Structure 1
Amino acid sequence: MNSPAADSTFRTAVARQLDSFVGEQRRLLTDLDPAVGDLVDAAVDFTAGGKLLRPTFCHAGWLLAGGAPSDERIAAAGAAFEWLQGSALVHDDLMDGSDTRRGRPSVHRDFEARHVAAGGHGEAHEYGARVAILVGDLMLSWADEQLRRAEPDARAARLWDACKSEVVSGQFLDVLAQTRDRLDVASAMHVIRFKSAKYTIERPLHVGAALAGGDDDLLGRLTEVALPLGEAFQLRDDVLGVFGDPADTGKPIGDDLREGKRTVLVARTADAVGHERVLALLGTQEGVAELHDLIESSGALEQVEADIDRLVEQSLRAIARIGPSAGPVLEPLVDAAIRRVR
């Protein structure tokens, strides 16, 4: 069985699904008004260059449940996860005030700049924010439409719906955490589970397996693989958000610190050097360099790297328990999720 991580045929099939869908949507929406083509272009441009991680995990679940590798239904489901991811990121960038995504302006900044260039009436930042909300909403609608092309049964549809509700709940928990006067590792890990681990790995695996007729026992075993791996994935993302090369991440160095993200990395630093000191630096341009150094010198970075290793080992043991067919499918995805630079 080929590894989904290296399956260019599947990636091509997902791209074909996305292109076909966009062509139909463009005809429909520009018939309403040619100006709406700007929304379509923004959605397409925003999803270009993604890692296709969620589609790949969806494909893995499909393969482990016995699905045919080249079936277009799984490519359609994979494409649905790309629209869902795009929707979440557009809204996430707006809430975080992020200036860039993948080395390009975030959607709200892009449309803010367009407003300025055109000499538009009203506040440019409000226009950018409103359009970003609409682009994200449009992609969320597209995600549902795209999934229907995979002809999901009731169970697969329920898993898809759970995924959407969980990621919104995780996002809310993240927003709520920003209002508290302490940084807490357990709280940050709780946010990770719902905002990232379930949405990035568990539910894509579940939806793919359910589409191929996988039973509840398989879904349970996939959860044992997915949750620790998804947590490790987000911890790696947090490390890259502070120490990653901007040429790889597409974000300025220390952007997560500037945006005030309350990650496990930051919480472990606060435990070591004091919460008041870290909170005074977090979310400020002036505090980025000092906080960057504190994360490393306090041992927080080393601790988080140890957390990642522990969680990966837990996931690998769960893969082994599924049986010999699981390793060739899932183990390369572990590397793709953790040994990365963006």
Structure 2
Amino acid sequence: MPVPPAVPDRTQTLDDVERCLADRLEALGVEWRRDCETEDAVLGATDVPELLTRLVQSGGKRFRPLLCHWGWVAVGGARRPGPTGDSHADLVTLGAALELLHAFALAQDDVMDRSRTRRGQSALHVVAATRHREVAGRDDADRYGDSIAVLAGDLGHAEADAMVADLPRAVRTLWRRTCVELVRGQARDLGEAARGGGEQALRRALEVARAKSGAYTIQRPLELGATVGGASGEALAPLSLYGRLLGEAFALRDDLLGVWGHPEQTGKPVGDDLRLGKSTVVLALAEQRLGGPDARAVARIRRQQHDESDVGGVADAMVREGVRDEVESMVEARTRAAVAALDDDRLTDEGVAGLTEVADQVAWRTW
């Protein structure tokens, strides 16, 4: 009997995603420069596609393609052909598209948050504004930088949509939901920064975390990979539950790292989420748990009327009053429940093993 082909492992999938990204970004640059006889007056050769390429290739963990891979493996995707006759090729295309969608989110999120760095390097809007100043550009350098970063993000989103266009209808439907959730989460995040706090702060913070971070990082990539693999609704059910729970754990870990993370590992300044008054579960719990001068410092952070001593003082108070430990317990509980959801005969043993390893990485990550 013929020996069935080996299932591509995660290393092969991620390597193929890198090659796909490189090819798509190179082709995008060629298309951008078609019929151009001169370089950009400010950016020169470092034009918008080049800025997008630098962001995409600046050292991301490729977590979303990894979740796609394990979703595909968990439902036996290697045994089912895709619309092109190669299910794995469709998976790679989807994984690369998710990385471009992620670049869109990063570029525009940094503008909205006024973040100066991303992955330990200058954020795109900072790079463009600096170049504007170097060439003594007219008008406002910061506004120019913001505009260029937004355009780079838009270009990444457009290219991602183009890549998904030839995938099955079920994948495209879930892709659209992912994009809408991501933008909704960002809009809610901005709304909470503008007028957050109050009795519903914790519930709203969890909603923001699920949509902006958890769903598009964990749950939807996992479901998208499984859908490319031809998953039935029954097989998707345990993966969706796992993805929702682990997505929440991922978002809660993000909240912790946003206050107590190490900049050399997160690529962001320590305490940045507090400094920006971001709508996080950590801050919502601080409002409930802290009293006296600490509570007044939290209120100043919410109103964006604080100084650096408030940021450090509230971070210390949250440790002292058990807020950090409470969120750590929430991470652990959701991670355990996510792994328990994988106890399902409809999932492959290899997929369950891979997703169990991913859960451990999510729960205890430092990046």
TM-score of the superposed pair, with normalisation by structure 2: 0.87
Separation in structure 2 between the aligned mates of residue 142 and residue 3 of structure 1, nearest angstrom: 28
RMSD: 2.1
What is aligned with 2:361? 336
The counterpart of 2:227, out of the listed 210, 221, 228, is 210
- The answer to whether 1:270 aligns with 2:290 is no
CA contact (8 A) 2:332 2:363 kept: no
- The answer to whether 1:135 aligns with 2:157 is no
What is aligned with 1:163? 178
Amino acid at match of 2:119: R
Change (3 A) 1:80 1:242: same
Query: Deviations for 1:225-250, whole angstroms, at most 9, x for unmatched residues?
Result: 01110010011111111111111111
The percent identity for this pair of structures is 33
What is aligned with 1:15? 18
What is aligned with 1:292? 315
Separation in structure 1 between the aligned mates of residue 138 and residue 147 of structure 2, nearest angstrom: 14
Separation in structure 2 between the aligned mates of residue 37 and residue 251 of structure 1, nearest angstrom: 24
CA contact (8 A) 1:30 1:37 kept: no
Unaligned runs of 5+ in 1: none
What is aligned with 2:262? 245
Separation in structure 2 between the aligned mates of residue 276 and residue 188 of structure 1, nearest angstrom: 20
Amino acid at match of 1:278: V
Separation in structure 1 between the aligned mates of residue 7 and residue 335 of structure 2, nearest angstrom: 18
What is aligned with 1:180? 195
Amino acid at match of 1:167: L
Larger Rg: 2
TM-score of the superposed pair, with normalisation by structure 1: 0.93
Amino acid at match of 1:25: L
CA contact (8 A) 1:163 1:198 kept: yes
Query: Deviations for 1:94-137, whole angstroms, at most 9, x for unmatched residues?
Result: 11111110011111111111111111001111101111110110
Separation in structure 1 between the aligned mates of residue 356 and residue 183 of structure 2, nearest angstrom: 29
What is aligned with 1:66? 76
The counterpart of 2:29, out of the listed 26, 29, 37, is 26
Separation in structure 1 between the aligned mates of residue 136 and residue 363 of structure 2, nearest angstrom: 45
What is aligned with 1:312? 335
The counterpart of 1:116, out of the listed 126, 133, 143, is 133
Mean Cα displacement is larger for which, 113-122 or 171-180? 171-180
- The answer to whether 1:53 aligns with 2:63 is yes
Separation in structure 2 between the aligned mates of residue 259 and residue 78 of structure 1, nearest angstrom: 31
Separation in structure 2 between the aligned mates of residue 231 and residue 202 of structure 1, nearest angstrom: 9
Secondary structure at the residue paired with 1:165?
Answer: helix
Aligned residues: 339
Shift of 1:321: 3.1
Separation in structure 2 between the aligned mates of residue 248 and residue 181 of structure 1, nearest angstrom: 29
The counterpart of 1:279, out of the listed 295, 299, 305, is 299
The counterpart of 1:190, out of the listed 194, 204, 207, is 207
CA contact (8 A) 2:260 2:270 kept: yes
Q: Which has the higher helix share?
A: 1
CA contact (8 A) 2:297 2:314 kept: no
What is aligned with 2:3? none
CA contact (8 A) 1:196 1:230 kept: yes
What is aligned with 2:324? 301
Query: Deviations for 1:43-67, whole angstroms, at most 9, x for unmatched residues?
Result: 1111121111111111111112222
Structure 2 matches for 1:72-151, cutoff 5 A?
A: 72-148=89-165, 151=166
Amino acid at match of 1:312: T
Separation in structure 2 between the aligned mates of residue 28 and residue 267 of structure 1, nearest angstrom: 46
Secondary structure at the residue paired with 1:71?
Answer: helix
Separation in structure 2 between the aligned mates of residue 252 and residue 329 of structure 1, nearest angstrom: 32
Secondary structure at the residue paired with 1:121?
Answer: coil
